[in-house]
Structure 1
Amino acid sequence: MDTKIIGSKITRARKAKGLSQAGLAQQLFISPQAVGKWERGESMPDITTFYRLAEMLEVDLNYFSENGTAEIPATSPVKQPAAEILPSEERQVPLRLTAVDMQQENFAGATLHKGKFKAGSLQGANFEGADLTGSTFEVLDARGANFDGANLTDCSFSITDLTDASFHRSILVRTRLHIAGHGAIFTDVTFLDARLTKVDLQQTRFERCTFNGTDFHQCDMRGMHFDGQTFIGVKFDKSALKDASFSGATLRNVSFKLPFSLTNRSHLDFQTVCFDGATMDKITYAALKGLRVADLSKVTVV
């Protein structure tokens, strides 16, 4: 199959639906760069993804074949989320908001690219539906802040208290959290290529979340419940997982690297992790089995 022909057909169908590359990538739970490579003919989706593309773009599967004659159905363009729309004539100027008290401020629906929030207070601030692409949040009190539906692509949260901060359906693509969190609430969120480093997650709540290409590095996840949630291409690197639960979760291409210990403490802690009712691929299952510490007797291998 000619990858350039396939790529041009994906581009044509995507534009007919009024979708951006980022919008299509978000729905497929992949990176925008992957969509770009398809459309440039540098790579091609696998057969499973072709089925999902056909369904999402409302085309016949034969449309993607080199000699396919299937037409793109006439459809009304999909209305893009406000976070993805920015008039080309409007220039975004990076703003530095250092040591500013912005408690209870209303930024709902605002657009601020590469903004810098540092050493101030965002307690109770409202960023609902805002486009904060590329912004940094450093050394802040953001307790109770509202980030519901906000575009947090390429954003960084460092040394920030997010106790009771809400992230409902937020866009978290390549988002970074470093020594931040302490009780944030993430619901119906897809973490795409995100990285969490040295984050205390014991009080954080994850509900109905998908983790795709996400790294947990040296995080404290003791007692966490990820029941029924989805993990694809995820690394748990030297993170504390004592009494954590993945009951009923889906794990595909997931790796666990235990914290270094001169004793067998980390292995004993990992014995308390619950995988009952989880579904995992053969590679993930084999890797966990090789650790010889987790109870995998109630796991389904696909």
Structure 2
Amino acid sequence: MDTKMIGSKIASARKKVNISQAGLAAQVFVSPQAVGKWERGESLPDVITLNQLAKILGVDLNYFSESFSFPENSKPIEEKVALEENIPGAGQTQLLTNFSGAELAKTDFSGINAHGLIFSGSNLAGSDFTDADITGSTFKGSNAHEAVFLRANLTDCNLSATDLRGAEFSSAILINTRFYALGLAEAKFSNTKFSNVKFSKTDLRDTIFENCGFEGVDFDYSDLRGLCLDEQTFANVLFHNAALNETSFKGATLINCSFRSTFALTNKYYRAIKTIHFGGASMDKLTHASLKGLGADLTQVTLI
């Protein structure tokens, strides 16, 4: 395989869509130095990364083959056709996916049907994604303060290191969604079902959850101190290594939920479990036994 030829093609396509080496590196989770080595022909991306590059750069995967060349005056896909208006139900082809580094504050994305969008280092403050289907999209290092995701489909989306303070997620579709190291103060989730969602290293202390259902959710290393989760339903949920001091589950239903730390159970952890409020909650026998063994106050809990 001709590494210099592939490197030259990566560089050419990158320049045509006006993405810097650093910007491209951020989208495929490598260093800018790695992209530089690719373009100089000193190394090659793996097959999975090459497929990602094709999508980001708007080219067919065959573009990187030795025998492939564009017809005369041809351009990559993203330059050949302008993005049409995303009208729900219109069945148009999606051509533009990369909005990295873009200034998009208060932009209207409502009702769009566009999968795999990339927002890396973008300003989306106050933007409206109401009723949008943005399955498989990525939000990384962006400002989405007070953005609106009302009834939005966020299936398979990854949101990391992004400011989502005050964001609205009511009735959103959250399936296999990943939240990592986010700011979610005053963000609101109401009438929402979380299915196989993971919150990792996320501060949820001031997040608002109302009338939500949690199934197969993992709160890995997240901060839930003082969080109100009253009257909500939890099934097959992991609270491993989460900070739970004064968290409230009053009137909640808990089935097959685990509160154990994956590390050694310290006196500090036992003390934190004792501060959780379970008054009026209902839980299955296994969850009850697990919490009882950790010293939780279950005096007002009903077994189901």
TM-score norm. by structure 1 comes to 0.69
2:29 aligned partner: none
2:192 is aligned with 1:189: yes
2:119 aligns with one of 117, 120, 137? 117
Distance 1:136 1:257 in 2: 31
**Contact 1:107 1:125 (C-alpha < 8 Å) held by counterparts:** yes
Q: Secondary structure at the match of 1:117?
A: strand
**Contact 2:284 2:303 (C-alpha < 8 Å) held by counterparts:** yes
Distance 1:120 1:88 in 2: 27
Distance change in 2, residues 1:88/1:107 (3 Å): closer
**Contact 1:101 1:120 (C-alpha < 8 Å) held by counterparts:** yes
Matched to 1:240, the amino acid is A
1:72 aligned partner: none
- 1:52-89 per-position Cα deviation (integer Å, ceiling 9, x unaligned): xxxxxxxxxxxxxxxxxxxxxxxxxxxxxxxxx98696
Q: Secondary structure at the match of 1:284?
A: helix
2:102 aligned partner: 100
**What is the CA-CA distance between 1:259 and the residue it aligns to?**
6.9
Q: Report matched runs for 1:49-68 at 5 Å.
A: none
**Contact 2:146 2:167 (C-alpha < 8 Å) held by counterparts:** yes
**What is the CA-CA distance between 1:180 and the residue it aligns to?**
1.2
Distance 1:262 1:196 in 2: 22
Distance change in 2, residues 1:190/1:108 (3 Å): same
2:275 is aligned with 1:272: yes
Distance 1:196 1:94 in 2: 29
Distance 2:260 2:94 in 1: 41
Distance change in 2, residues 1:94/1:260 (3 Å): farther
**Contact 1:239 1:259 (C-alpha < 8 Å) held by counterparts:** no
Distance 2:265 2:244 in 1: 18
Distance 1:263 1:214 in 2: 24
Q: Secondary structure at the match of 2:161?
A: strand
Distance 1:86 1:205 in 2: 30
1:75 aligned partner: none
**What is the CA-CA distance between 1:258 and the residue it aligns to?**
3.0
1:135 aligned partner: 137
Q: Secondary structure at the match of 1:157?
A: strand
1:151 aligns with one of 153, 170, 191? 153
2:244 is aligned with 1:249: no
Distance 1:283 1:261 in 2: 21
Identity %: 42
1:217 aligned partner: 220
Distance 2:265 2:91 in 1: 60
1:199 aligned partner: 202
Matched to 2:112, the amino acid is A
Distance 1:117 1:177 in 2: 14
Distance change in 2, residues 1:140/1:209 (3 Å): same
**Contact 2:88 2:111 (C-alpha < 8 Å) held by counterparts:** no
**What is the CA-CA distance between 1:288 and the residue it aligns to?**
1.1
Distance 2:129 2:165 in 1: 15
Distance 1:229 1:181 in 2: 22
Distance 1:257 1:118 in 2: 35
Distance 2:173 2:183 in 1: 17
Distance 2:265 2:291 in 1: 21
Distance 1:187 1:296 in 2: 27
**Contact 1:196 1:217 (C-alpha < 8 Å) held by counterparts:** yes
**Contact 1:209 1:230 (C-alpha < 8 Å) held by counterparts:** yes
**What is the CA-CA distance between 1:160 and the residue it aligns to?**
0.6
Distance 2:219 2:266 in 1: 23
* Gap regions ≥5 residues in structure 2: 1-86
2:290 is aligned with 1:287: yes
Q: Report matched runs for 1:225-236 at 5 Å.
A: 225-236=228-239
1:160 aligned partner: 162
2:66 aligned partner: none
Q: Secondary structure at the match of 2:269?
A: helix
Counting matched residue pairs gives 217
Matched to 1:95, the amino acid is T
TM-score norm. by structure 2 comes to 0.68
**What is the CA-CA distance between 1:93 and the residue it aligns to?**
3.8
Matched to 1:179, the amino acid is A
Distance change in 2, residues 1:233/1:94 (3 Å): farther
Q: Secondary structure at the match of 1:166?
A: coil
**Contact 1:181 1:204 (C-alpha < 8 Å) held by counterparts:** no
Alignment RMSD: 1.8
More strand by share: 1
1:173 aligns with one of 158, 172, 175? 175
